[in-house]
Amino acid sequence: MSERVVVTLTLNGGRRTFEVAPGRRLLDLIREDAGLTGTKEGCAAGECGACVVLLDGAPVTSCLVLAASADGHDVVTVEGLQQSGSLHPFQEALVAQGGVQCGFCTPGLAVTGAAALAYGPGTADERARLLAGNLCRCTGYVKVLEALESASGEKADRAST
């Protein structure tokens, strides 16, 4: 039996400590140990983006991060995107634009999209590239990208007023 690892991290704003196996993935810590099942497991190889969370503000595929490596770091999952009880502006836009169909990719898309908005509005091509690591087999991406565009437009509007 391998030794256990103590992982203390900030999870959606709260400081949490977990004792996990050395080979625990951040994804499993989030879903099984913390019980936050919004983050999904798709390919488990870093290709589909269903498990994307923010690690120190940067989007990462949590299936490829050791839970031990997240010790001392800040993690935000889809559950942590809402601010004071309301959805993140990109989540609002996904709903408004019809950017959600089966929904499996949506949490990962929401997290990457939120990070993309924080990173900067950019051009349509730049926005599409930032979301390229989140595979969606339903929407064809058009409405997802429209949602990101409208959310980034609103962000730019707010910044200019």
Partner 1 sequence: MDVPIQQVIRPATIAEATALLATRPDARPIAGGTDLMVQLRDGRKHISCLVDLDGLGMAEIRRVDEGVEIGASTRMHSIAAASEIRSNFPALAAAAGTIGAWPIQCRATLGGNLVNASPAADTAPALLIAGAVLTAVSTAGTRPLPVAGFFVGPGRTVLMPGELLVSVFLPLAQVPPGCRLVERFVKAGPRREQVIAVVSLAGRAVVRADGTFEEVRLALGSVAPTPVRARRAEAALMGRRPNQETRRGAVQALQHDIAPIDDVRAPASYRRIAAAVLLDRFLLEAARV
Out of 33, 37, 64, 149, point to the residue binding partner 1 (CB under 8 A).
64
Interaction of residue 110 with partner 1, rule CB under 8 A? no
CA distance 115 to 109: 10
Nearer to partner 1, 96 or 108 (CB): 108
Interaction of residue 137 with partner 1, rule CB under 8 A? no
Out of 14, 15, 17, 45, point to the residue binding partner 1 (CB under 8 A).
45
Interaction of residue 38 with partner 1, rule CB under 8 A? no
Cα-Cα-Cα-Cα torsion 4, 9, 136, 88, nearest 10 degrees, comes to 160
CA distance 144 to 147: 5
Q: Which of residues 79-108 bind partner 1 (CB under 8 A)?
A: none
Distances (CA, A) of 109 to 9, 74, 130: 23, 19, 10
Give the SS3 label for residue 45: coil
Q: Dump the DSSP string for 97-115.
A: HT--SS-SSHHHHHHHHHH
Interaction of residue 28 with partner 1, rule CB under 8 A? yes
Chain residues in the site for partner 1 (CB under 8 A): 2-3, 5, 21-25, 28, 44-47, 49, 52, 55, 58-61, 63-66, 68-69, 71, 112, 115-116, 129-134
